[in-house]
Structures are given as C-alpha cells and as structure tokens.
Amino acid sequence: KGAYDPGHKYSQADIQRVISFAEEHGVVVMPEFDTPGHTLSWGKALANFLTFCPGKGTFGGDYGPIDPSKEHVYQLLQKLFSEIVRVFPSEMIHLGGDEVPFNCWKSNPDLVAWMKQKGIVGFDKLENYYENRLLDIIHGLNHSYVVWEEIFTNKLQIRPDTIVHVWKGNWETTMAKVVKGGFRTILSSPWYLNYITFSRDWKKYYEVEPLNITATTEEKKLVIGGEACMCGEFVDNSNVLSRTFPRASAVAERLWSHEKQRDEPDMEFRLDKHRCGMCARGIPAETVILRSFCPYEFRGYDDLHI
C-alpha cells in the first residue's frame, strides 16, 4: 500500500531476478531496510506502527518514525527480518538508522509517558532502546549488519561487530573516530553520484583516499571499503544508468587500487575505453573526456546485453 502505484513495487520474483543476475556477475546483494526513520510508506500498510505527531511528521505530515513503545512493532520486525535473511544470501543487512527526527517523538504525549514509565531519559536514549531491540533480533538470526554513522555519532551502545557507514561531511574526522573506537567502517561521503557537475567530475571521485585519516596502521585496517551512492529524488529509469556510469567506475578503481596509485592520464584513457565498451553492450554510459569518440554508439535499450 505504500507504493506509488501497484506497478512500482518489487515482487519476490523481481528480487530473485536481481539476486540471480548479481550472482552471475560475482556480486552479492546486501539489502537495506532503514529504520526507525524513512518508514513513512510502511505506515500505509501497517496500522499503529508509526509515531502519530500531527503537523510534525515526515514532510510536515502527521506521522514520523516508528513508534518504539509499541511491542507489536518488534514482533513485526522479527517476522520481516526473518523473511529477509531467507530471501537474500548476503551475510549482512544494512539497518540504516540515519536522519531520525526527534521532534515527532517529543510531541507524542503517549510516547513521552511511556518513556517516563520505562525510565528512558532523552530521545537519544529512546533511539538507543529501539536500536538495541532491533540488534537483538538481527543477532538472533546470526547475521552481521551495517548502520549509518548517526548510530555511532549519537553514542548509541553498539556492539563490537557493528560496521559503521560514514556518509556525511567531515568524513575524515568521523572515520578516524570510528576506527579508534575499534569499529569497522565503510565510506560513501564523497561518492554521491546524484550530485552532478560539469566536465570531468570523475576525477574528484578517483582522487579521494579513504585511508587519508589520522589513525594508526592497525586502525586503518578497519577501513574495509566504500560505496558509490545514487539518491533517487531526481533519478528514474530514464537516466539512472547514464548518471551512474562510468562515474561509478572511477569509485571502483579508487577502492581496489593501492593508495599510492594516482596515474590520472592512464586512468582517463582506460575509463574512456571502458565507457565505449559499455556503450557497445547497450549501456548508455556518459562521456568522460573532451572530444571522446566511440565506434559504438548507444542506440537504445533493445541492444542491452550484459
């Protein structure tokens, strides 16, 4: 019920096609189910699930994050994540945890009264209560997990096996704090491909060095990777591939290269050839250099073969 229309949702068959396609190309799909925020669409199908806060909810509406005081919420999450671990072969689940608006929680008198009864002082402690209930569920399913950086920076009580996903500004400082805390981390802050600019912006993605943080050699070993992200506010099926490729390839090159590998002219030459190869396979990859020419032009999605 939370979809824009019946055609804009994933069926079990759709998900299996994605997983199978990824496996054929050596990729493991790790799902993200972001809670307790970013769940407005869930409330369309689940009664008494979100926090009621007239005028102070998501997009100025009447509902905000999941209501942590409702015991049936955790029963539903148990059922949901039990299904997720059956469907997705990944040993990890991204649990989100970012951008939780406390104002909605603050304005709900029933929730505030419940917090007082439970001795929960402060909405950061309420978030901590919810996240720990969720982590109990995930650990019970024998799965590892990733969380957005707010879970760490808000000083929630997270477990040693937590992987912290850094996505906001001043990432060097945040990552240094994460690894000094003994947690593994991945980076996406400088690699949001939805922020488009003129000319060769692939270079700014290639020039990033995730290990350029104030940390010891041993602490830097906790930096385990990164992610090129694409927020979807201005992206749909008409432009997602051209906006993603080959710019995401520059991120991939950075992540699997040694930190001292910085040959930009060679990278530009190879990236241009890679882009032409994608066009030949029916992928509408954007040009990456001035006066780029490919013998194979993109001629439509009917030619797509991967």
Catalytic residue ranges: 99
Q: Specify whether the CB–CB gap between 38 and 99 falls below 8 A.
A: yes
Two tokens at 284? 């509408």
Exposed, middle or buried, 8 (CB in 10 Å: 0-12/13-18/19+)? Answer: exposed
Which residues, in sequence order, are CB contacts of 255 under 8 Å at separation 6+?
Answer: 210, 225, 226
**In one letter, which amino acid is 217?**
T
Which residues, in sequence order, are CB contacts of 50 under 8 Å at separation 6+?
Answer: 39, 40, 42, 43, 57, 63, 64, 65, 66, 67
Which residues, in sequence order, are CB contacts of 219 under 8 Å at separation 6+?
Answer: 176, 179, 180
| 15-29 CB burial, b ≥16 within 10 A, e <16 | eeeebeeeeeeeeee
Helix (H, G, I), strand (E, B) or coil at 145: strand
Helix (H, G, I), strand (E, B) or coil at 55: coil
Q: Residue 66 carries which DSSP code?
A: E
DSSP string computed for 192-255: BTTS--SS-THHHHHT--TT-SS--HHHHTTEEEE--B---TT--TTTHHHHHTTHHHHHHHHH
Helix (H, G, I), strand (E, B) or coil at 122: coil
Two tokens at 10? 């994933």
Which residues, in sequence order, are CB contacts of 190 under 8 Å at separation 6+?
Answer: 171, 204, 205, 208
